[in-house]
């Protein structure tokens, strides 16, 4: 049997990681400024993370959600404290797509409606409803195209309010900083106006914090820069530093009903342990504050580079979620960064470098990358 060939792959076999660095099977070191799609939050192979998972694996790795798992309640308490959402409830699943799927389902259960408003250039996942609210027709199969969704420009508050005023909107879902959309940042004016309109017209406000959340923006959640408190908040990626896990934070306005939501693997012992280890490292190493400080420095250094070097037209983002807009396609830039300068970045659109490093990144790493990027830009 062969692998189902759906991923275009770089011819590199990564076998080891430590902090912000990874190594291939030829012992070549790379600076990792992508963290596997923003998944690596506390750095590769953090010793506390390894120790906690190893100890838990020696006890029990999994049992079903039909019995008490005190690690789940510990995680809910710790996450509430870390994020400032102590009054919310936590539903644990396996991935970001499932988090958004369950958020949309819970919204519809609550108000009985079917229509959703989502932002243009959004990405919310690849499962049934999550992919329908993703603005990319290429990955929406005919079976998922059910006409539930209206796509609107991010930050165009008037357009969203006009649709909400029709009275049939179940939920509005948005990313405070768009990921695949190119690190476009939602404005406070838009977010606050949307929150008010949702409450006025009986719609549920869902903040997709799967990529932009969990400390990456320099606050625990990116929407906390915007002065809002969404009804539902979805998390994944950085929550467990690579262990498959997701979560849904639920406002106290929602009433839990037995059997309404469910999962087999979600909230298992190993996943909860991984997530608790991440919160330990966040607290002990002040990684959210580090993301803010180093992120500001990173953006300022890129803006300085923009003034002196060709090909950079805009620098977007906040914290350690940064988009570098180029006047050339990103493909050749990324190829040179990987194979000549040995640094991983992501991409968005056809001309945006997307930078999503571990939150332990330091200013020396930033300076290192700026030098490597400058050399690449000077070859184009």
Contact by Cβ (8 Å): 35, 237:
no
d(CA 248, CA 234): 5
What burial letters (b/e) apply to 180-203, b meaning 16+ CB within 10 Å? bbbbbbbeeebbebbbebbeebeb
How far is it, in rounded angstroms, from Cα 154 to Cα 186?
7
The mean per-residue pLDDT over the stretch 85-97 comes to 98
User: Can you tell me the distance from the alpha carbon of 132 to that of 278, in angstroms, rounded to the nearest whole number?
Assistant: 31
pLDDT, tens only, 124-138: 999 999 999 999 999
Task: Give the CATH fold of the 287-361+368-377 domain.
Answer: 3.90.1150
pLDDT at position 127 is 97
Residues 84 and 220: beta-carbon distance below 8 Å = yes
**Tens-digit pLDDT profile for residues 65-76:** 999 999 999 999
- Residue 338: what pLDDT? 98
pLDDT for 132 equals 98
pLDDT the model gives residue 188: 98
Q: Provide, rounded to the nearest whole percent, the portion of the chain with pLDDT above 90.
A: 100
3-state helix, strand, coil in the chain (%, to 5): 40, 20, 40
Closest CA to 348 of 208, 212, 152: 212
Q: Within 10 Å of residue 336's Cβ, how many Cβ atoms?
A: 18
Question: Tokens in use for 324?
Answer: 């570098």
**Under DSSP, is residue 76 helix (H, G, I), strand (E, B) or coil?**
helix
Cβ atoms of 195 and 228 closer than 8 Å: yes
All CATH 3.40.640.10 domain ranges of the chain, comma separated, are 47-285
Tokens 């968005």, residue located: 348
pLDDT score, position 106: 98
Mean pLDDT within 242-267: 97
**pLDDT band, residue 255 (cuts 50/70/90):** very high
Per-residue pLDDT tens digits for 143-183: 999 999 999 999 999 999 999 999 999 999 999 999 999 99
Q: For residues 6-18, give the mean pLDDT.
A: 96
Q: What is the reported pLDDT for 174? A: 98
Alpha helix (H) residue ranges in the chain = 35-38, 47-57, 70-83, 96-111, 128-132, 157-164, 188-201, 269-285, 287-308, 330-339, 363-377
What is the per-residue pLDDT for 141? Answer: 97
CB atoms within 10 A of CB 149: 21
Coil/strand/helix, residue 90: strand
Structure tokens at 53: 């998972």
Predicted local distance difference test score (pLDDT) of residue 270: 98
The secondary structure of 120-139, three-state, reads CCCCCCCCHHHHHCCCCHHH
3-state secondary structure 279-325: HHHHHHHCHHHHHHHHHHHHHHHHHHHHHHCCCEEEEEEECCEEEEE
Helix H or strand E encompassing 184: none
Q: What's the mean per-residue pLDDT of the chain?
A: 97
Residues, the chain, total?
Answer: 380
Asked if 36 and 354 count as a contact pair (C-beta separation under 8 A), the reply is no
pLDDT one-digit tens code per residue, 196-251:
999 999 999 999 999 999 999 999 999 999 999 999 999 999 999 999 999 999 99
- Which of the four pLDDT bands, split at 50, 70 and 90, describes residue 272? very high
d(CA 369, CA 298) in angstroms, rounded, equals 10
Q: Alpha-carbon distance 219 to 323, whole Å?
A: 18
- Domain 47-285: give its CATH code: 3.40.640.10
């Amino acid at each position: 049997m062969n692998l189902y060939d759906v991923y275009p792959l770089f011819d590199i076999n990564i076998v080891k990681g430590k902090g912000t660095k990874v190594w291939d099977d030829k012992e070549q070191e790379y600076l990792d400024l992508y963290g596997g799609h923003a998944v690596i939050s506390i750095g590769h192979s953090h010793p506390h993370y390894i120790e906690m998972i190893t100890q838990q694996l020696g006890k029990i790795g999994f049992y079903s959600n039909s019995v008490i798992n005190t690690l789940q309640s510990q995680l809910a308490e710790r996450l509430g404290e870390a994020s400032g959402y102590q009054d919310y409830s936590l539903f644990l699943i396996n991935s970001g797509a499932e988090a958004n799927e369950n958020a949309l389902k819970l919204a519809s259960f609550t108000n009985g409606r079917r229509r959703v408003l989502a932002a243009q250039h959004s990405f919310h996942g690849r499962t049934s409803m999550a992919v329908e609210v993703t603005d990319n027709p290429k990955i929406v199969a005919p079976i998922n195209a059910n006409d539930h969704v209206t796509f609107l420009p991010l930050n165009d508050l008037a357009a969203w309010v006009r649709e909400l005023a029709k009275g049939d909107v179940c939920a509005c879902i948005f990313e405070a900083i768009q990921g695949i959309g190119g690190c476009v940042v939602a404005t406070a004016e838009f977010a606050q106006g949307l929150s008010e309109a949702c409450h006025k017209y009986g719609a549920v406000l869902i903040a997709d914090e799967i990529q932009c959340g969990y400390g990456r923006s320099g606050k625990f959640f990116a929407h906390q820069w915007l002065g809002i408190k969404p009804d539902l908040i979805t998390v994944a990626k950085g929550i467990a530093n690579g262990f498959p896990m997701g979560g849904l934070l639920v406002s106290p306005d929602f009433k839990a009903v037995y059997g309404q939501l469910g999962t087999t693997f979600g909230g298992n012992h190993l996943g909860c342990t991984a997530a608790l280890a991440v919160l330990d490292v966040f607290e002990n190493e002040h990684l959210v504050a580090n993301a803010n400080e180093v992120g500001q420095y990173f953006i300022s250094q890129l803006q300085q580079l923009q003034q002196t070097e060709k090909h950079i037209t805009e620098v977007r983002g906040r914290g350690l979620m940064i988009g570098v807009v180029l006047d050339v396609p990103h493909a050749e830039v990324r190829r040179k960064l990987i194979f000549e300068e040995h640094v991983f970045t992501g991409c968005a659109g056809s001309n945006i470098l997307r930078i999503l490093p571990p939150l332990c990144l330091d200013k020396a790493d930033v300076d290192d990358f700026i030098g490597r990027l400058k050399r690449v830009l000077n070859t184009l």
